[in-house]
Chains A and B, each alone.
Chain A
Amino acid sequence: MSKIGLIIQREYLTRVKKKSFLILSFVGPILIAALMIIPAWLAIKDVDNQKIEVIDESGLFINQIKDTKELEFHYEFRSLADAQEDLNNGGEYTAVLHIPKVVVTLPKTVQLFYKSKPKGSSVRYMENAIEEVIENKKLEDLYNLSLDQISGLRPDVDIVSKKLNEEGETKESAGALATGVGIVLAFVIYLFIFLFGVQVMRGVIEEKTNRIVEVIISSVKPFELMMGKIVGIAAVAFTQVFLWIVLSGALIIGAQQFFKEDLLDAKTAQIEQMEQTLGTEAPKVSKGSQFVAEINKKLESINFPLVIGAFLFYFLGGYLLYGSLFAAIGSAVDNESDTQQFMFPITMPLILSIVFAQLVMDNPDGDVAFWTSIIPFTSPIVMMVRIPFGVVPWQLILSMALLVVTFLGTTWMAGKIYRTGILMYGKKVNFKELGKWLFRKN
Chain B
Amino acid sequence: MSSIIKADNIVKQYANHRALNDVSIDVLKGCVFGLLGPNGAGKTSFIRIINQITGPDSGQVYFDGAPIKPEDVNHIGYLPEERGLYKKMEVGEQAMYLAQLKGMSKAMAKERLKEWFKKFDLDTWWNKKIEELSKGMAQKVQFITTVLHEPKLLILDEPFSGFDPINTNLVKQEILRLKEEGTSIILSTHNMGSVEEICENIALINNSKKILDGNVKQIQQDFKEGVYEIEFKGSMIAFTNALWTGCELIDSHEEDGMHTAKVKLLDHKSPNELIKAVIGEVEIHGLTEIIPSVNEIFIKQVKENSAKKEVNHE
What residues of chain A lie closer than 8 Å to B85, measured between beta carbons? 210, 212
- Say whether B73 contacts A218, CB under 8 Å: yes
Whole-angstrom CA separation of A44 from B142 in the bound complex: 63
Whole-angstrom CA separation of A222 from B52 in the bound complex: 11
- Say whether A215 contacts B80, CB under 8 Å: yes
Chain A stretch 389-442: residues in CB contact (< 8 A) with chain B? 423, 425, 436, 440-442
- Say whether A215 contacts B83, CB under 8 Å: yes
- Say whether B101 contacts A6, CB under 8 Å: yes
* Known contacts A219-B98, A219-B101, A436 near B54 by CB under 8 Å: no
* Known contacts A6-B101, A212-B84, A215-B80, A441 near B57 by CB under 8 Å: yes
- Say whether A6 contacts B100, CB under 8 Å: yes
What residues of chain B lie closer than 8 Å to A423, measured between beta carbons? 48, 53
Chain A stretch 29-44: residues in CB contact (< 8 A) with chain B? none
What residues of chain A lie closer than 8 Å to B101, measured between beta carbons? 3, 6-7, 216, 219-220
- Say whether B76 contacts A218, CB under 8 Å: yes
B70, B76, B82, B87: the one contacting A214 at CB < 8 Å is B82
What residues of chain B lie closer than 8 Å to A221, measured between beta carbons? 70
* Known contacts A210-B86, A442-B55, A215 near B98 by CB under 8 Å: yes
Whole-angstrom CA separation of A372 from B271 in the bound complex: 90
Whole-angstrom CA separation of A6 from B73 in the bound complex: 16
Write out, one digit per residue, whether chain A residues 210-245 have a CB within 8 A of any chain B CB (1) or not (0): 111011111111100000000000000000000000
* Known contacts A218-B53, A218-B78, A423-B53, A211 near B84 by CB under 8 Å: yes
What residues of chain A lie closer than 8 Å to B103, measured between beta carbons? 3
Whole-angstrom CA separation of A283 from B58 in the bound complex: 88
Closest to B85 in A: A212
Tell me, yes or no, whether B167 is within 8 Å of chain A by CB. Answer: no
* Known contacts A215-B98, A219-B73, A442 near B88 by CB under 8 Å: no
Tell me, yes or no, whether A286 is within 8 Å of chain B by CB. Answer: no
Q: How many residues of A contact B (CB 8 A)?
A: 26
- Say whether B100 contacts A217, CB under 8 Å: no
B70, B97, B102, B146: the one contacting A10 at CB < 8 Å is B97
Whole-angstrom CA separation of A387 from B103 in the bound complex: 46
Tell me, yes or no, whether B211 is within 8 Å of chain A by CB. Answer: no
Please classify the interface of chain B as helix (H, G, I), strand (E, B), loop, or mixed, using the class held by over half of its residues: loop
Tell me, yes or no, whether A348 is within 8 Å of chain B by CB. Answer: no
- Say whether B80 contacts A211, CB under 8 Å: yes
Tell me, yes or no, whether A153 is within 8 Å of chain B by CB. Answer: no
Whole-angstrom CA separation of A215 from B15 in the bound complex: 25
Tell me, yes or no, whether A289 is within 8 Å of chain B by CB. Answer: no
Whole-angstrom CA separation of A217 from B83 in the bound complex: 12
What residues of chain A lie closer than 8 Å to B275, measured between beta carbons? none
- Say whether A214 contacts B86, CB under 8 Å: no
Shortest CB-to-CB span from B78 to chain A, Å, is 4
Shortest CB-to-CB span from A138 to chain B, Å, is 75
Q: What is the total of A-B residue contacts with beta carbons within 8 Å?
A: 66
Tell me, yes or no, whether A14 is within 8 Å of chain B by CB. Answer: yes
B57, B84, B102, B142: the one contacting A219 at CB < 8 Å is B102
Shortest CB-to-CB span from B212 to chain A, Å, is 27
Whole-angstrom CA separation of A49 from B84 in the bound complex: 69
What residues of chain B lie closer than 8 Å to A6, measured between beta carbons? 97, 100-101
Shortest CB-to-CB span from A437 to chain B, Å, is 9
Tell me, yes or no, whether A157 is within 8 Å of chain B by CB. Answer: no
* Known contacts A6-B100, A219-B98, A211 near B89 by CB under 8 Å: no
Chain A stretch 190-222: residues in CB contact (< 8 A) with chain B? 206-207, 210-212, 214-222
Closest to A420 in B: B54
B52, B79, B84, B98: the one contacting A210 at CB < 8 Å is B84
What residues of chain B lie closer than 8 Å to A219, measured between beta carbons? 73-74, 98, 101-102
- Say whether B53 contacts A214, CB under 8 Å: yes
What residues of chain B lie closer than 8 Å to A23, measured between beta carbons? none
Closest to A433 in B: B15
What residues of chain B lie closer than 8 Å to A14, measured between beta carbons? 86, 88-89
Whole-angstrom CA separation of A269 from B44 in the bound complex: 76
Write out, one digit per residue, whether chain B residues 57-91 have a CB within 8 A of any chain A CB (1) or not (0): 10000000000001001101011101111111100
What residues of chain A lie closer than 8 Å to B52, measured between beta carbons? 218
Write out, one digit per residue, whether chain B residues 139-163 have a CB within 8 A of any chain A CB (1) or not (0): 0001001100000000000000000
A residues apposed to B, CB below 8 Å: 1, 3, 6-7, 10, 14, 206-207, 210-212, 214-222, 423, 425, 436, 440-442
Closest 3 CB pairs of A and B: A211-B84, A210-B84, A219-B101
Can you name 11 A-B residue pairings with CB atoms under 8 Å?
A6-B97, A6-B101, A210-B85, A212-B83, A212-B85, A215-B80, A215-B98, A215-B145, A218-B78, A219-B74, A441-B55
- 20 new A-B contacts, CB < 8 A, other than A211-B82, A423-B48, A442-B55, are A6-B97, A6-B100, A14-B86, A210-B85, A212-B83, A214-B80, A214-B82, A214-B83, A215-B80, A215-B83, A215-B146, A218-B51, A218-B73, A218-B76, A218-B78, A218-B80, A219-B98, A222-B53, A423-B53, A436-B15
